[in-house]
Chain A
Amino acid sequence: MTYFSFLRAECCLVWRRKQNVVNSVLFFLLVIVLFPLGIDATPMFLSKAASGIIWCAAALAILTSIDSLFKEDYHDGSLEQWLISGLSVPILVLIKMTLHWLFIALPLLLLSPILSEVLYLPDNSFWPLFLSIVLATPSLFLLGGIGSAITVSLRQGGVLMLLIVLPLYLPIIIFATSITKAAQVGLPYDAPLAILAAIFLVSLVVSPLMTAISIKASVN
C-alpha cells in the first residue's frame, strides 16, 4: 500500500457509497427546513437567523456523516492494515478526511446560494458566509475525526461522539456566524476570518495525530 493507492481506493469507496453523501446532504436540508417551520417563517426573523441556521445544520450534518467515518474500516480490518502498512497513520487519516470533506462540503457550497435565497439572507453577506463555510468546515471535520476514532469500537457510539465533539464545535460556530453578522451591518470581518484560519491550522496539526493515537488504541 502506498499513499497514492490508498487515495485511489478511498476515492473508489466514497464513489460506490455515494448514498451516504446524499443522505447527509438530505439531512442538512431537512434540518434547515425545521427552523422556518418550527420558529418563524417571516423574512424579518429568517434574514437575521439565516447564517446561524445554515451553520447549525452544517455542523449536525457533518457530525452524522463523520460518525461512520472509520466504522466500516474498523469492522473489515482496514484499520489494522493501516497500522501495519508502515505508512504514517496521521497522513492516512488526513488523506481520508480531506477526501470526505471534499465530498460533503462541495454539495453544501453548491447548495448555499439556493439556501441563502430561501432563508432571505441579505445579499451583502452571501460571500462572507461562503468564505466561512470554506474555511471552517475543514476544522469541523478534523475535530470530529477524533471523536469518531475514539468511539469506533462501540456499537452505539454516536451519542458519545456528539458529547465529545460538540463542545469543541462551539467556538467555530461562534466565529463563523459572527462573520456574517458583521457583514450584515457593514463592519469588517477579517478578524474572525483570521481566527477561523488559526483554528483550522491548529486542528490540522493536532487532530490527525490525536486521531491516529485513538485509532491505535481502538484497534489493539
Chain B
Amino acid sequence: MSWAWFHRLGSPKWFYGRFKAWPKPLFCLACLCLVVAMVWGLAIAPPDYQQGNSFRIIYVHVPAAILAQSCYFAMGIAGIVYLVWQIKMSPIFLQAAAPFGALMAFTALLTGSIWGKPTWGTWWVWDARLTSVLVLLFLYMGVIAVQSALEERPLADKAAAVVSVVGLLNLPIIKYSVEWWNTLHQGATFSITEPPSMPMAMWLPLLFAVIGLYLLTAAVIMWRMQTEIMRREARTQWLKQEVLSDGI
C-alpha cells in the first residue's frame, strides 16, 4: 500500500483539497447524534434511584471531559510531529484545536460544579479530577496565550508546539499527583472496553453523546483549520484559484 496520500496531507494545499467537503456532513451527523442523545438522555432515560433527575447532566459533563483530554492528547502529538518533522499542518492544527479544547475543559468544569451542588453539597472541592481538569484548562490557556502574544509566526508556532509537548508530558504527572493528594470524584464512568456499570437505557444515550461530540469536534476543528490555511496561504496561486472557482 502506498502512503503517498498520507504524506501529502502534510501540505496545506492537499489537506485543503481533500477535506474541503468534509466538515458540513460531519457537522450534520454530529447534530443528529447529539439531538438523539439529548432527547433520549434528558427525556426518555429513567431517573437515577439516588440522584433523581440531576444525574442527567452526565450527558454533557462526561463527553466534554473526554473531549477536553482527547484534544490535549492530539495537540501534544501534533506538537511532537512539528518539533521532529516540521510539518506545516501541525501548528495549524494546534491553533485550531486549542480554543475548542479550552471550551471543552471549561464546560466540563462548569457542568461538574453544577452537578456537584446537589450531589456533594458544594460547588467546588479541591479534588483530584477537578483540579487536574482545572490545570488542563490552564495549559490550554497557556498555548492560546503563546499563540496570540508572539507576533512572529514561526516563533509562535514553535513555542505553541513546545508548550503543548511539555504539557503532554506533565499531564500524567499532574493527574497522579492530584489523585494521590486528594480524591472525592468517582472513577471513570465511561469505557468502551469494559462492560458498562450502568443500565443500557442510561448508557446508550451517553455513547451517542460521546460519539456526537467527537464528530462535532472533528467538524469544528476542520473548519477552523481551513480558515487558518486560507489566512496563512492567502498569497498563493492555488488558493486564489480555489476561491475563484467556488464562484465568489
Which A residues contact B (CB, under 8 angstroms)?
143, 146, 150-151, 153-154, 157, 160, 163-164, 166-168, 170-171, 174-175, 178, 195, 199, 202, 206-207, 210, 213-214, 217-218, 220
Instruction: Given A174-B178, A220-B154, check contact A167 B167 (CB 8 Å).
Output: yes
Instruction: Given A160-B146, A170-B174, A171-B174, check contact A150 B162 (CB 8 Å).
Output: yes
Instruction: Given A146-B162, A154-B149, check contact A174 B181 (CB 8 Å).
Output: yes
Interface of B is mostly: helix
Within 8 A of A (CB), among B160-181: 162-163, 165-167, 169-170, 173-174, 177-178, 180-181
What are 8 A-B pairs at a CB distance below 8 A? A143-B166, A160-B145, A163-B138, A167-B138, A210-B162, A210-B165, A210-B166, A217-B155
Q: Residues 132-171 of chain B: 1 if any A CB is under 8 Å from the residue's CB, otherwise 0?
A: 0001001101100110011010110011001101110110
Q: Which of A150, A168, A170, A195 contacts B159 (CB 8 A)?
A: A150
Nearest CB of B to A32, in Å: 23
Q: Total contacts A to B, CB within 8 angstroms?
A: 74
Q: Is the CB of B166 within 8 A of A213?
A: no
Instruction: Given A166-B138, A174-B178, check contact A213 B167 (CB 8 Å).
Output: no
Q: Measured between alpha carbons, how far is A169 from B165 in the docked complex, in Å?
A: 15
Q: Is the CB of A164 within 8 A of B163?
A: yes
Nearest CB of B to A97, in Å: 15
Contacts of B139 in A (CB 8 A): 167
Q: Which of A150, A168, A206 contacts B146 (CB 8 A)?
A: A150
| B83 interface residue (CB < 8 Å to A) | yes
Contacts of B177 in A (CB 8 A): 170-171, 174-175, 195
Q: Is the CB of A171 within 8 A of B170?
A: yes
Contacts of A178 in B (CB 8 A): 180-181
Contacts of B145 in A (CB 8 A): 160, 163-164
Q: Is the CB of A199 within 8 A of B173?
A: yes
Contacts of B173 in A (CB 8 A): 171, 199
Nearest CB of A to B133, in Å: 12
If A150-B162, A170-B174 are given as contacts, then 8 extra A-B residue pairs at C-beta distance below 8 Å, sorted by A number, are: A146-B166, A160-B149, A164-B146, A167-B139, A167-B174, A168-B167, A178-B180, A213-B158
Q: Residues 199-222 of chain B: 1 if any A CB is under 8 Å from the residue's CB, otherwise 0?
A: 000000000000000000000000
Nearest CB of A to B125, in Å: 16
Q: Is the CB of B135 within 8 A of A170?
A: yes
Contacts of B142 in A (CB 8 A): 163-164, 167
Q: Is the CB of A217 within 8 A of B174?
A: no
Q: Is the CB of A150 within 8 A of B163?
A: yes
Q: Which of B152, B167, B180 contacts A153 (CB 8 A)?
A: B152
Closest to A154 in B: B149
Contacts of A150 in B (CB 8 A): 146, 150, 159, 162-163
Nearest CB of B to A151, in Å: 8
Contacts of A174 in B (CB 8 A): 177-178, 181
